[in-house]
Amino acid sequence: MAETSQSPSQPEQADQPVADARAERHVARLAKRIGAFAGSHGGSAEGQIAYVGEVGTRILLVGSDGTWGDLVAPSYEIAERAVEASGIARQDSFDGEMAAKVRTGPYEWKRMAGIQVGGSPNT
C-alpha cells in the first residue's frame, strides 16, 4: 500500500474557502449597514475609506442630510468591496467639500468642543 503525503499547502487551501466565505459575510453585513445608514439619512450617502492599522479600515459615512457615522472593516479590501456593493459614492479623501456636508449637533458640541468653549466636560 503506497503512502501519500500531504504538502504543507493543502491545509491552507482547505482553509481558503472558509476565509473567502467569512470575507463575503463581512462585505454583505457592512454593505447592508451602509445602505441602511444612507436610507435613514436622506436616501444617499458618501463614503471615505481610511486604513487605521491592525484593527482594520474605517469607512466614514456622510448622509445627504449631513448626519455622519463610521464603520470599521477588518481589512481595506473588505471595506472597498462593501462600499462598492452598497452603491454609495466613494470619495478619495475627507476634504473640505465633504467636511462641509457634515452637520454637527448638540452632542458633538458638548463632547468635542464643550470643554474649550466653557461647556460642562461631563454632560
Residues 46 and 62: beta-carbon distance below 8 Å: yes
> pLDDT category, 8, cuts 50, 70, 90?
very low
Cell of 84: 462598492
Determine the pLDDT at residue 118: 54
- The rounded distance, in Å, linking the Cα atoms of 94 and 90 is 10
- The rounded distance, in Å, linking the Cα atoms of 117 and 72 is 31
- pLDDT tens readout for residues 35-74: 999 999 999 999 999 999 998 999 999 999 999 999 999 9
pTM equals 0.73
Cell of 33: 449597514
Determine the pLDDT at residue 99: 87
Give residue 1's Cα distance to chain centre: 54
> pLDDT category, 9, cuts 50, 70, 90?
very low
Average pLDDT over residues 11-31: 83
Cell of 79: 471595506
Residues 93 and 51: beta-carbon distance below 8 Å: no
Determine the pLDDT at residue 6: 47
Nearest CA-CA partner of 87 in 30, 23, 10: 30
Determine the pLDDT at residue 1: 47
- pLDDT tens readout for residues 67-116: 999 999 999 999 999 999 999 999 998 888 888 898 888 877 777 755 55
